[in-house]
Amino acid sequence: MDIKKVGVIGAGQMGNGIAHVFALAGYDVLMNDISREALDAALTVIDTNLERQVSREKISADAKAEALGRISTTLTLADLGPTDLVIEAATERETVKAAIFEDIVPHLAPHTILTSNTSSISITRLASRTDRPEKFMGFHFMNPVPVMQLVELIRGIATDEATYKTLHGVVERLGKTSATAEDFPAFIVNRILMPMINEAVYTLYEGVGSVASIDSAMKLGTNHPMGPLELADFIGLDTCLAIMNVLHDGLADTKYRPCPLLTKYVEAGWLGRKTERGFYDYRQDPPVPTR
C-alpha cells in the first residue's frame, strides 16, 4: 500500500517528533490534539528542531521550509479519517487510547492503517477495540524521535502481512531501522530498559548509592550516555511507573515490582524534567540531585 498522508494523534513530545520525521521524509502530516495551545507549541518545537538540523548542516533551509509546509493541524479527530496511516501518540494509559480508537474508527477510510506508539500496552488488546485488527500494529518510536534511529514494529495476533510490510517500508523511507517485536508486555526495548531503571531506583531506595554516584557509575562504568536516574527523568517518572506496572501485571513476576520510591516520586508530582523535579531538581543549572 502507498502511504501518502499521515495522521498523528497527540502533539506532545512523541507526537511532534513523529510529525517532524514524517514531514521531513515527504509525507503530508495532519496533527491532532484536544488543545490549540498544544498544537501551537508543537509547531514551535518542530520549527526549532528543524532549525537545529539546518544549523548542523543535516538538512537544507529549503528542506526545512518544505517539511513545515507539509504539516497541518486540527482539533477535530474525525478530520484524520481520510489519511492512509494514523499514529496514536497520546498518554500511556490504555483507557485514553481505547477511547481515541473508539472515536476515530467510524471516520476511517477502509484502507487506513491504524497504529499506536504505545511503549508497553498489548497491541492485540488495543486492536480488538477497533474494526480492523488486521490493519493494526504497534509503531513504537524512541525519544527524541528526530534523533533516535530505532522503531519497534509490533504485530498483534491478527495483524496481516501486508500491513507489516507496508510499515516496514515506511520505516525505511524515514531513514530509520526497524526491530520486530512480539506482542508481549513492554516489547523489547522497555522490557530490558525499564527493569534496569527500576533497579537503579531500588539501589537509591536501599541506600546503596546516591543519585550522583549511581548515575556516574553507570555512565563511566558501562559507557552509557546518560545515567539511569537521569534517563528516567528524561522519559518521565509517570511513564516509567506505568510501564513497570504493565510488566508486573502482564507477566505476574515479582521481579517487575515497581520500586516504592518510584511510586512516591510520582505521587508527589515529581515526574522529571517536564515538572522540573524528579531525581534531579531542574530549577537550578546545573540540575541538583534531590536525594
Nearest of 232, 230, 213 to residue 221 by alpha carbon = 213
Long-range CB pairs of 132-135 (<8 Å, 24+ gap) are 132/105, 132/108, 133/157, 133/158, 133/159, 134/158, 134/159, 134/160, 134/163, 135/111, 135/159, 135/160, 135/163
Beta bridge partners of 181: 154
C-alpha cell at 58: 543535516
pLDDT of residue 212: 97
pLDDT at 57: 96
- Domain segments of the chain as ranges: 5-181, 191-289
By CB atoms closer than 10 A (0-12, 13-18, 19+), residue 194 is buried
Q: What is the DSSP letter of 42?
A: H
Assign domain 191-289 to a CATH class: mainly alpha
The predicted pLDDT at position 92 comes to: 87
Q: State residue 160's pLDDT score.
A: 97
Report the C-alpha gap between 224 and 222 in whole angstroms: 6
Q: For residue 95, what pLDDT is reported?
A: 94
Q: Are 1 and 76 in contact (CB under 8 A)?
A: no
What residues contact 30, with CB distance under 8 A and at least 6 apart? 5, 6, 7, 8, 72, 73, 74, 79, 80, 83
Residue keyed to cell 505476574: 252
pLDDT in tens, the chain (291 residues): 799 999 999 999 999 999 999 999 999 999 999 999 999 999 999 999 999 999 999 999 999 999 999 999 999 999 999 999 999 999 888 999 999 999 999 999 999 999 999 998 999 999 999 999 999 999 999 999 999 999 999 999 999 999 999 999 999 999 999 999 999 999 999 999 999 999 999 999 999 999 999 999 999 999 999 999 999 999 999 999 999 999 999 999 999 999 999 999 999 999 999 999 999 999 999 999 999
Q: What is the CATH number of domain 5-181?
A: 3.40.50.720
Q: What is the value of pTM for the model shown?
A: 0.90
Whole-number pLDDT of residue 1: 78
Residue positions annotated with a catalytic role: 119, 140, 152, 190
Q: What stretches of 4-134 adopt beta strand conformation (E)?
A: 5-9, 28-32, 71-74, 85-88, 113-116
The predicted pLDDT at position 215 comes to 98
Q: Which three cell numbers stand for residue 50?
A: 528543524
Query: Residue 38's closest CA among 5, 74, 87?
Result: 74
Q: Distance between CA atoms of 116 and 119, rounded to whole angstroms? A: 9
Q: Which three cell numbers stand for residue 196?
A: 534496569
